[in-house]
Structure 1
């Protein structure tokens, strides 16, 4: 991810993946041997000043990335949950129980029923959890 400060300063170069990873700009060996403008204008004091400036903006960059990540996670969660229809039951309602694969009747093949029994809700345990009993009034574990 690129970290772009809220305000672009004209003296700051565009962030690159290398500079975000290692904290410095890359200089290729050809530039060193040919004494390019970047190498010619290099001074140790200026480098230290730029490093301090980068350290000062590091926390702002992290906060920006955290905000982006939280926004992305909210969008993914909304997209995932948008088709879910919440349904609540009350005591006395009749419900079916979805059959899971490990207790599926293998002899029936693909025509086996996806639901089993008819159960009665006796009480609400907590949000989304219920106590059930069979129609013969035997409670389910």
Structure 2
């Protein structure tokens, strides 16, 4: 019985090591391919339209992007505040994942 408990502890340590090794490989794989989106104040942006639209009706014929908007400041960790072209501030912060650069 004591031998089985000792073997169990060794198997548990081996499993923990394998999980840590696997997570390290996944992290490096992701970091090699991740594209970091960083924008500067003054950049022109489009934002995803379906986030602000109401959930009723069909979305097939609606535009996918709204804008353009001007980034006014960064909120940290990929969040941005922006203004309309006319200068009216939009009160909500937007994540970089929902933004796309606008090229006039």
Which residue does 2:21 correspond to in 1? 71
| CA–CA distance in structure 2, aligned partners of residues 101 and 137 of structure 1 | 22
TM-score calculated relative to the size of structure 1: 0.51
Aligned to 2:62: 112
1:133 aligns with 2:83: yes
The corresponding residue for 1:42 is: none
Deviations 1:42-93 (A, max 9, x none): xxxxxxxxx2122123332112112222333444555566654212001111
- Matched residues, number: 91
| Alignment partner of 1:85 is 2:18 | no
Structure 1 residue 138: deviation in Å? 1.4
- RMSD of aligned alpha carbons: 2.9
- Give the match's secondary structure for 2:46: strand
Q: 1:60 to 1:72 in 2, by over 3 A?
A: same
- TM-score with structure 2 setting the length: 0.65
Larger radius of gyration: 1
Structure with greater strand percent: 2
In structure 2, list runs of 5 or more residues that go unmatched.
Answer: 92-104
SS at match of 2:81: strand
* Alignment check: 8 A CA contact 1:105 1:112 kept: no
Which ranges of structure 1 fall in alignment gaps of 5 or more residues?
A: 1-50
2:48 matches 1:98: yes
Per chain length, whose mean CA-contact separation is higher, i.e. which structure has more relative contact order (CA < 8 Å, sep 6+)?
2
Greater shift, 67-76 or 91-100, is seen at 67-76
